[in-house]
Amino acid sequence: MDSLLPDLTPVEQASLLAVRLRALDARSATPILDDRVAERTADAAGLDLTRPTIPRSAVLVHAVRAKTLDDAVREFVARHPDAVVVDLGCGLDARRQRCAPGPGVDWYCVDLPAVIRLRAKVLPDDAHRVPADVTSPDWLQNLPRDRPTIAVTDGLMAFLAGDAFVELARAITNHFTGGEFTFNAYSRLAMRNSRRMGALGGRAVGASGSTRAPTLGDGIDDPREPEAWNARLALIEELSMARAPEVALFPPVWRTISRISARSARMIRAGDRVVRYRFPA
């Protein structure tokens, strides 16, 4: 039984789901992300990885997506050794340890106060911890403005209302002088389906005995949409998890499904993808 779940809201519990997925990947025969820190973090947080059962497909897709986001961060800090990294909705993610940035990089982990307190207990690191609601207007005040900055988030789009996510993008690109904003993009259909499952009483996978975390996001279908958010964003690339080289490590059935999906732009945009933008446009 997960000892920490009763003390967290459904949204806060989403961070525990993510660390479960990374720990399960690390324990698999063919790990993709191979995040051994996630295993230790899950143990330290008292998480039961054996129940409820999480579909292998969810573990695979999460691991590929996390690796894709890691690669974007690694590329950015390699070009900008004095960079600022803002990890939005960081949860219990050890992305900083996986990316291993140089000493000139400042890394900020941003999440709700209860999650940041938990993170400090079970995942000590050298990152700056920012306990904040990213929809509040002042959480950016103490972050440096004039250095190359990459803001990265995995999953946050699902938990913020559509207009709130747009305002977050504007706040980031208005505060920092330049850099990149990288996130996983959900389609509108995926968001509608997730809300429908919530309305029918579905539970978030891995949140044992919990109420499903609300899905508030609108999603985007066309990766060019954020260029019209008045946030000075310009698309760099859209990356489909179905086309990732790590698909070669999938079990045969899922490998076949992914390769079929990769042939269709419509199926790609209905599935899991990462989008990267630079700012100012």
Is 2 inside any structural domain?
A: no
Three-state secondary-structure class, residue 76: helix
Average pLDDT over residues 16-22: 90
Q: What is the pLDDT of residue 47?
A: 87
Q: Between β-strands 179-185 and 234-240, what pairing exists: parallel, antiparallel or unpaired?
A: unpaired
CA dihedral 166, 171, 172, 175 (to 10 degrees): 160
Domain contains 51:
no
As a whole-number percent, the residues of the chain with pLDDT over 70 amount to 91
Mean of pLDDT over the chain: 88
Does the residue 108 lie in any domain?
yes
* Weakest mean pLDDT among 51-55, 144-148, 165-169, 177-181: 51-55
Structure tokens at 228: 């019209």
Number of domains within the chain: 1
Q: What is the 3-state secondary structure (H, E, C) of 202-259?
A: CCCCCCCCCCCCCCCCCCCCCCCHHHHCCCCCEEEEEEEHHHCHHHHHCCHHHHHHHH
Say if residue 8's pLDDT is above 50.
yes
- For 150-194, the DSSP string reads EEEESSHHHHS-HHHHHHHHHHHHHHSSSEEEEEEE--HHHHHHH
Position 12 in a domain: no
DSSP 7: G
Question: Domain range for residue 184?
Answer: 65-279
Name 149's bridge partners.
84, 179
Contact (Cβ atoms closer than 8 angstroms) between residue 27 and residue 63: no
Provide the β-strand partners of residue 106. Answer: 84
Per-residue pLDDT tens over the stretch 163-213: 999 999 999 999 999 999 999 999 888 888 877 765 444 444 333 434 455
Residue 134 has pLDDT above 80, yes or no: yes
Domain contains 88: yes
Q: Is residue 33 part of a domain?
A: no
The encoded tokens of residue 241 equal 């998890």
Say what the pLDDT of residue 222 is: 94
Least confident of 36-40, 151-155, 244-248: 244-248
Q: What interhelical angle do 252-261 and 56-79 show, nearest 10?
A: 60
pLDDT at 203 (0 to 100): 42
264 within some domain: yes
Chain segment 228-275, per-residue pLDDT in tens: 999 999 999 999 888 888 888 888 887 788 888 877 777 777 778 999
Q: What is the mean pLDDT of residues 147-155?
A: 97
Residue 155 maps to a domain? yes
% residues pLDDT > 90 (the chain) = 62
Q: For position 210, what pLDDT does the model report?
A: 43
The pLDDT of residue 208 is 40
pLDDT at position 25, please?
95
CATH no. for residue 193? Answer: 3.40.50.150
Mean pLDDT across the stretch 26-40?
A: 94
What CA–CA distance (Å, rounded) separates 127 from 122? 14
d(CA 252, CA 101) in angstroms, rounded, equals 35
